[in-house]
Amino acid sequence: MEKVILTGDRPTGKLHLGHFVGSLKRRVELQNSGEFDKIFVMIADAQALTDNADNPEKVRQNVIEVALDYLSVGIDPAKTTIFIQSQVPELTELAFYYMNLVSVARVQRNPTVKTEIKMRNFEQSIPVGFFCYPVSQASDITAFKATVVPVGEDQAPMIELTREIVTRFNHIYGDTLAMPEIMLPENQVCMRLPGTDGQAKMSKSLGNCIYLSDTAKEVAKKVKSMYTDPQHLNISDPGHLEGNCPFIYLDAFSNDGHFEKYLPEYKNLQELKDHYTRGGLGDGTVKKFLINVLEETLAPIRERRKEWEQNIPAVYDILKEGSEKAREVAAKTLDEVRAAMKINYFDDLDLVKEQSKKYGN
Ligand code: ATP
Ligand code: MG
């Protein structure tokens, strides 16, 4: 069986550190591992419209931002097909058929959707399209016969639903769809990186992000105002690590080499944590170190972005070519789905024969 990856992001804003640790970093590693037959990365504009129907300009502007972020982190169009969801209409048709295989109650149970409905004040009136986006995600994944989906933890319920749809589809219509596996970050903190305000998830919609395209000055400012330990008033006070953003970010980004380079008084993160909990270590020192650590990741991304920004038509060409390639693959799956569902009337010569015989001609 082919090894295929599909992941994507909503063009609702620029990509941030949560995306980087939750999914982007892994994608680039997998891309360069040479272990996969095909890799697809999707800019999910149709999904973004499910909760931004009244703001198409926002989605349009952010398609190019997300594409620039992809290219800056090292997603290579020679190895990975980058495409725009709405340019592959086969995905919409698949979603329409899959909707028959899922109950309303099943979607309502999805904890990520539940949180998102609350966050968007959709409790009273939820757009049908938004409610159904997990089903549309199942078509994105299955259209490319993806076997591996590298995403953050918030996507686990979507992959679970996709797996149920695949099982149900294959059971009713015969073996057609490939079964996907979720691939979560290995590092626990990277599964759901909190926001700079200490909220559970860094998210475009919550405005608590450090963006990959932020300037060094913006990053420093955001780190300096990060949520730490409200009880740690004096440097000599013992500090608490739980929910302490700079330490959580260090868990995600720092390594022993960073200590050697920027904070040689400590061998590793454990020593720094021990000092903080004992008392006598100020938040300023931790934050200054974190700024240096983050810059190691962000500076090269920023540089590559600047280069691509000089050539926007080339970026659109990459998206166009990728979308055409993606469409071919999705169309092939759709043909198989239609055949399995017996709605391939004009390709099925047996059908004509069978019906003719029934009417004696
Ligand atoms: P929105 O608020 O518009 O939903 P978002 O910030 O949640 O935006 P998405 O485009 O929904 O971003 O998510 C894209 C991918 O990034 C998904 O795989 C998701 O799991 C991952 N991801 C997003 N935020 C985080 C985070 N804070 N930590 C880890 N992974 C994340
Ligand atoms: Mg999201």
DSSP label at residue 148: E
Cβ atoms of residues 67 and 318 within 8 Å: yes
Q: Which of 5, 6, 9 to mutate to test the pocket of ligand 1 (most atoms within 8 A of CB)?
A: 9
Tokens of 212: 């990959």
Give percent helix, percent strand, percent coil of the chain, each to the nearest 5: 60, 5, 35
Q: Which residue owns the Cα nearest ligand 1 atom 16?
A: 19
Tokens of 185: 């970050």
Q: Is the pLDDT of residue 124 over 90?
A: no
> Nearest-CA neighbor of 316 among 60, 140, 73, 90?
60
Q: Which residue owns the Cα nearest ligand 1 atom 6?
A: 203
Specify the 3-state DSSP secondary structure of 280: coil
**Helix count and strand count (H, E) for the chain:** 17, 5
Q: What are the pLDDT digits (tens) for 53-91?
A: 999 999 999 999 999 999 999 999 999 999 999 999 999
Q: Which residue owns the Cα nearest ligand 1 atom 14?
A: 9
* Alpha carbon of 235 to ligand 1 centroid (Å): 35
Residues with CB under 6 A from ligand 1: 9-10, 12, 18-19, 21-23, 151-152, 154-155, 192-193, 201-205
Q: How far apart are CA 290 and CA 247, in angstroms?
A: 8
Q: Which residue owns the Cα nearest ligand 1 atom 18?
A: 151
* Alpha carbon of 15 to ligand 1 centroid (Å): 9
Q: What are the pLDDT digits (tens) for 138-184?
A: 999 999 999 999 998 899 999 999 999 999 999 999 999 999 999 99
Q: Is the pLDDT of residue 16 over 90?
A: yes
Three-class DSSP labels, 255-271: CHHHHHHHCCCCCCHHH
DSSP letters spanning 11-67: SSS--BHHHIIIIIHHHHHHHHHT--SEEEEEE-HHHHHTS-TT-HHHHHHHHHHHH
Q: Which residue owns the Cα nearest ligand 1 atom 24?
A: 18
Which bin fits 81, alpha (ψ -120 to 50), beta or left (φ > 0)? beta
Atom of ligand 1 nearest to the CA of 19: 16
Residue 49's pLDDT is 98
* Alpha carbon of 152 to ligand 1 centroid (Å): 7
Q: What are the pLDDT digits (tens) for 214-272?
A: 999 999 999 999 999 999 989 999 999 999 999 999 999 999 999 999 999 999 999 99
Q: How far apart are CA 311 and CA 292, in angstroms?
A: 30
Per-residue b or e along 197-227, where b marks 16 or more CB atoms closer than 10 Å to that residue's CB: eeeebbbbeeebbbbbbbeeeebbebbeebb
Torsional sign, CA 10, 11, 17, 21: positive
